[in-house]
Amino acid sequence: MLSDQSMNRIGLILIFFCIVSEVFPQGEIDDQRKLFYRNERSLGATLSSIGYGGSFRYSKRINFFNQRVYEAEISIIKHPKEIKTVNSWYPNNKRFVFGKMNFFFNVRAGIGFQRIKYKKIDKGGIAIRFLYTGGLSLGFYKPVYYEVFKSVGGMSYIIVTEKFNSSIHSPYDILSRASFFKGFDEIKLVPGLYGRIGINFEFGKRDPVISALEVGGMLDAYIKKIPIMASDDNKQFFPAIYASFRFGKIVDIKSETKLKYEEERRQLY
């Protein structure tokens, strides 16, 4: 089930897309030279119902309508119960997530296909493309450390750096989170697979430049549950909906390939 915070993030991106669609209305005839035989390189910034991340994608033309897609992505994955708080006795210190055992992120590398459904005709119009990708998803998690009050007898206390332990720690024992880099020498790898289905809306005015919004769904599946929180509801499977803003450019290709695609286009029209 999606948290309110996740739904708000997705909703903001969809509102942004609607505004962009109004700013760049269709209707003005595009008189620039069209690049029908195009390969593409793009970067993407993604918000999902379970986290956020960034990606690189290379799309290689197969024919007039279809592209083969190669992608690499890194994402930070959140547990639904991650709620930041502060120690009420020391409210000016760093916020922390009580009960978080591990920081989790993944690296995806995959291949897939993208098909043009509606091509952009008017200047400022929108092209619609469908895509699906899948491949390897490598999950990495490292322990989270906290700055904790520890009694040394009587009314004396010291501050120590410890991993979270649900049997001894309470929100009042924890002063703040420790350094993010603490625990990287204890990182663990969990292999898995992922799949993605999406719809890509390209709305850029200049044909060589790619500006697009992509929305869709994806699933990461690992060989075991990922112990993010000190609770019984940690997951092995991570379904999510996502929205991604992509920007990049069309990459020119060899002359003989251009001629081949131009001939295909003439036959189609």
Domain boundaries, the chain: 4-84+103-138+188-268
Q: What is the mean pLDDT of residues 56-61?
A: 93
Which one is the CATH code of 4-84+103-138+188-268: 3.30.43.10, 3.40.50.150, 2.40.160.20, 3.40.50.12780? 2.40.160.20
Of residues 148 and 238, which shows the higher confidence score?
238
Residue 230, CB-side half-sphere exposure with 13 Å CA sphere: 15
**What pairs with residue 161 in β-bridges?**
147
CB count in 10 Å sphere of residue 241: 17
Share of the chain above pLDDT 70, in %: 75
Residue 34 is predicted with a pLDDT of 46
Check pLDDT > 90 for residue 216: yes
Identify the top-confidence range among 78-82, 84-88, 234-238.
234-238
**pTM (global) more than 0.85:** no
Task: Please check the confidence at residue 235 and state whether its pLDDT lies above 80.
Answer: yes
Of the pLDDT bands very low, low, confident and very high (cuts 50, 70, 90), residue 26 is very low
- Segment 33-62 shows an average pLDDT of 85
Spatial separation of the C-alpha atoms in residues 86 and 77, rounded to whole Å: 22
User: Is 124 a residue whose pLDDT tops 80?
Assistant: no
Residue 260 has pLDDT above 70, yes or no: no
What's the pLDDT at 12? 54
Mean pLDDT, residues 104-114: 97
